[in-house]
Structure 1
Amino acid sequence: MKNSLQLPSGYHELLQELKTRIRGAQVRAAFAVTRELVLLYWSIGREISQRFDREDWGGKIVDRLSKDLQAEFPGVEGFSPRSLRYMRTFAEAWPDEPILQQLAAKLPWGHHMVLLDRVKEGETREWYLRAALENGWSRNVLVHMISGQLREREGKALTNFQRELPPRESDLAEQILKDPYNFDFLTVTTAAKEREIENGLLSHLRDLLLELGRGFSFVGSQVPLTVDDRTFYIDLLFYHVRLHRYFVFELKVGDFEPEYAGKLSFYLAAVNRTLRTPVEGPSIGVLLCESRSGPMVEFALENINQPIGVSTYRVTRELPAPIQDELPTVEDLQEVVNKLRTEIETLRREPSNGE
C-alpha cells in the first residue's frame, strides 16, 4: 500500500537531484574514499537542513526520503532515517565550507558520528577534530580521549617553561603536558608504593604512551646515572621526537614536596651531561604527584634553572585486603538476591487474610 504522506512541493526535484549526486559520488570514489563520502553526506545534510528551514518540512519527510533513497540504491548503507538525521546535524555543525574542506572532510564518517554524539560545543568539537587528524586517532581512541576530557587536561601542568625555554618551544612543551594524567588503566592498592605504580605503567606501556601523547618514545625505566662514583636511577625516561630532547619523569606517591624539584633538577643536569648530544635541546623534567599545591610548586621552581613541570595523576584504587575480606562477594550478593526473589514469589502465591 502506497504511503499516504502528503509530499511537499519540491520534494521530487530534491529526490532526483540527490540521486544524481549520489551516482556521481559513486563513480568518482566508489564510496570508498573518505573525503568524497563525507562531502557527499555534508551536501545531503545541508539540503535537508535548508529545506526544513525554508519550507517547514515535517520529520516524517526524512523517513520517506530514506525509503526512496534505499529503494534507488539497494544494498548501499548510509541512507537510514538515523543516518540522514546525522547528515543534517553534521552540516549544521560545520556550516563553514572552508573548514569542511580543509579539516572535516579528512576525518572518517564514523569519527564524525562520535563527535556529534559526544561533543556539543562547536569550539571543543573542532579541537578534537584537529587532534584526531594530527595524532591519527582511531574511532575508539577518539572516544577514549573525549571521555577522559583530554582538552580540559592538556596544558594544565605547573611549569617554569616560559622562563627556561625559548618562546616557541615553551608553548609546545606546555601543550604536551597534562594535568591530571589519567592512569585509570592501572589498578593499584591504596597503599601502593612508587615502584608498584611504575611497574604497572610499564606493563601497560601502550596505554601509557597513548596518554602521554604523540611524539613520546620510551627509552627505559630505572635508567642509571653515575655521578662521582654514585649511581642514581631515573624512574622513567622518554625521548620526544618533535622537540628532540629527553623527558625525565619522576613518579611520587602522595603530595608534592619542594625537595622533589631539586632532585629532578639534578637528574636533568646529569642527563644533559651524559646522554644529550649537541643536536638535542635541554632535557625536560616532569614530576608526577598525586596532589600538589600551586604556591608550593611556584616557590620550589622559582630559582631552578632547568625546565620542569609538575602534574598530578590518578589511578584506580583497590580497597585494602582486610576490608576486601569483610565485603560480600558477587556470589554472596547473588545468593541474597535469589533468596529475596524466592520469598517475594512465595508471598505472591499465598492468599491474603481477606480471602
Structure 2
Amino acid sequence: MDEIIKREDALFEHISKLIDEAHKHVKTTVNTAMVYTYYGVGKYIVEDEQTNKERAAYGKGVLKQLAVKLCNKYGDGWTVDTLKRCRYFYKVYSSSVIGATPLPQSEEVPQFTLSWSHYLVLMRIENADERKFYEIESRQQNWSVRQLQRQYASSLYERLALSRNKDEVMRLANEGQTVDKPSDIIKNPITLEFLGLKPDTVYTESKLEDAIISKMQQFLLELGKGFLFESRQKRFTFEEQLFFVDLVFYNRLLQCYVLIDLKIDKLTHQDLGQMQMYVNYYDRYVKQDFEKPTIGILLCKEKNDALVELTLPKDANIYASAYQLYLPDKALLQAKVKEWIEEFEENEELKKLLR
C-alpha cells in the first residue's frame, strides 16, 4: 500500500512540476505551451501505466486520485476525462512525429503549432496520413476549429486524393494541398452543404448562384487555396453580342483567372463549347502577359469526363466538376482512397523488382 502511495505521489510531483513550468510562459504562448503540457502529462501517465502490473484498476484508481490532487491545486479543469485525453493524445502523436522539439526533460516530441481544440479534432482521425494532411492545412490556411471540423466532415482529403493521379496522392500527407498546376485546384465532388439547399427540391441556376454569393466565405474555403472573388454575371461584349460568366475568380497562386459556370441540368457539349469561348476571350482580351492561361470550370450536378474529353482538345484548360448539396459518404471515399494507395504501393514494389 505504501509503495502505491509513493508511486502516486511521485507521479503527482512530476506532473505538478510540468504544469508549473507551463504556467511560466507568457500569455501569447499559453495555448501552445498547454498543448506541450498535455502531451507531457500523457507521457507520464502512459509510462506509469506501463509499469503498473494491475492495469485493470489503473483508470479507476490512479487517474481518479491524480485528478483529485491536480484539481485541488490547479482548478477543476484537470478531471479524469482530461487526463484520459492527455493519455490518448500522447499515444497518437508519440508514434507519428512530424518535427522534433525537445521538452525540458530532453524528450523529443512532435512540433505542435495549433491549439488544443484543434488537436482534440485531429487526434481522433485514425489514418495517420489523413491526420497529417489536416494538420498541415490547418496550420498553412489558419483554419479555425470550426473550419477544420467542416473540412474533415466534407472529406476534403479523400476528395482531393480522388481528383489526382495516383502518384500524387502520397504528397497530400507530406505537403498538404499543393497548387502548382490547374488540375490541383479541382476536387470531385465539390460539397455545398452549407448553402442550405435541399437536394430533393427544385431550384434554378440563379437561385444556386444567389446561395453561393450569400455564403461566399464558405464557398471560397471549399474552392481551396489562393482564390479571390472578382464578380458575378461578368458581362463582356463580342461582335455586338452580350455574354455573361456566372462567377469570376482569380487564383493568386496560379496567377490566372478562374471562370465558373453553374449547371443544374445534364452537361452538354454546347455547355463545353460556351465555356471554351469564355476562356478564349479572357486569354485574348483580359489576361495580362505575365498571367497564366485562364481556367474554366463547369460546376454541374453530374460531370461527364468522357464528354469533356471528346468535345475539347487535349490541352484545353477546362474541367467539369460535380457538386453535391450534402456531405459525402466518408466511409465510401476512404475505401476508394485505400484502393488507390494500395495500387500505388503495389506499383512501387513492382518497379523495385524490375530494376
Give me the TM-score of the superposition, normalised by structure 1: 0.77
- Structure 1 residue 52 and structure 2 residue 59: aligned? no
Aligned-partner SS, 2:138: helix
Q: Displacement, 1:221?
A: 0.9
Q: Secondary structure at the match of 1:260?
A: helix
Task: State the match for 1:148 in structure 2.
Answer: 154
**Residues 145 and 288 from structure 1, CA distance in 2 versus in 1: closer, same or farther, beyond 3 angstroms?**
same
Indicate which of 307, 329, 338 corresponds to 1:296: 307
Q: From 168, 178, 184, give the equivalent of 1:175.
A: 184
The code of the aligned residue for 1:11 comes to E
User: Is the CA contact 2:179–2:185 (under 8 Å) kept in the aligned structure 1?
Assistant: no
User: CA 1:107 to 1:234, structure 2 compared with 1: closer, same or farther past 3 Å?
Assistant: same
Q: Which amino acid aligns with 1:308?
A: I
Report the Cα offset of residue 15 of structure 1.
1.4
- Report the CA distance shift for 1:178/1:278 in structure 2 as closer, same or farther (over 3 A): same
The residue number in structure 1 matching 2:65 is: 64
Corresponding residue SS for 1:235: strand
1:282 aligns with 2:293: yes
Deviation at 1:66, TM superposition (A): 1.2
Q: CA shift at 1:272, angstroms?
A: 1.5
Report the AA paired with residue 240 of structure 1: N
1:40 positional shift: 1.2
Instruction: State whether structure 2 residue 142 is matched by structure 1 residue 136.
Output: yes
How many angstroms apart in 2 are the aligned matches of 1:268 and 1:73? 62
| Structure 2 residue identity aligned to 1:137 | W
Q: SS of the residue aligned with 2:4?
A: coil
Identify the residue that residue 171 of structure 2 maps to in structure 1: none
Aligned to 1:107: 114
Aligned counterparts of 1:251 and 1:280: Cα–Cα separation in 2: 25
Work out which of the two has the higher radius of gyration on C-alpha atoms and give 1 or 2.
1
Pair 1:309-2:309 in alignment: no
CA distance in 2, matches of 1:36, 1:146: 25
3-state SS of paired residue (1:217)? strand
Deviations 1:137-189 (A, max 9, x none): 11111111111111111254589xx9xxxxx9975533322211111222167
Correspondence 1:187-266 to 2 at 5 A: 187=197, 190-266=201-277
CA displacement, residues 279-318 of structure 1 (integer Å, 9 cap, x when unaligned): 21111111111012333333334x15331221101126xx
C-alpha contact (below 8 Å) 2:18/2:40 kept by paired residues: no
1:309-347 Cα deviation digits (max 9, x unpaired): 21101126xxxxxxxxxxxxxxxxxxxxxxxxxxxxxxx
1:37/1:69 Cα in 2 relative to 1: closer, same or farther (>3 Å)? same
Q: How many residues align?
A: 302
Q: 1:157 to 1:311 in 2, by over 3 A?
A: farther
In the alignment, what sits opposite 2:89? 90
Aligned-partner Cα distance in 2 for 1:190–1:280: 41
Correspondence for 1:126 among 119, 132, 141? 132
C-alpha separation between the residues in 1 aligned to 2:310 and 2:24?
A: 65
Amino acid in structure 1 at the alignment position of 2:232: S
2:52 maps to amino acid: E
- The one-letter amino acid of 1:178's match is K
Q: SS in structure 1 opposite 2:290?
A: coil
- Percent identity over paired residues: 24
- In 2, are the aligned partners of 1:169 and 1:243 still within 8 Å (CA)? no
In structure 2, give the amino acid aligned to 1:196. Answer: K
Letter in 2 for 1:47: Y
Structure 2 unaligned segments of length 5 or more: list them.
102-108, 169-176, 327-355
Gaps of 5+ in 1: 163-167, 317-355
What letter matches 2:130 in structure 1? T
1:22 is matched with: 19
Partners of 2:70 and 2:28 in 1: how far apart?
A: 15
* Match of residue 349 from structure 1: none
Please give the alpha-carbon distance, in whole angstroms, between the structure 1 residues aligned to 2:93 and 2:141.
Answer: 21
TM-score by length of 2: 0.77
Q: Conserved in 2, the CA contact under 8 Å of 1:42 and 1:91?
A: yes
Q: 1:100–1:132: structure 2 CA closer, same or farther, 3 Å change rule? A: farther
Instruction: Report what 1:273 is aligned to.
Output: 284
1:176 corresponds to which letter in structure 2?
Answer: I
Computed over aligned residues only, the root mean square deviation of the Cα atoms, in angstroms, reads 2.8
Contact in 1 for aligned 2:246/2:262 (Cα 8 Å): yes
The residue aligned with 2:340 is none
Secondary structure, aligned partner of 1:239: strand
CA distance in 2, matches of 1:304, 1:259: 17
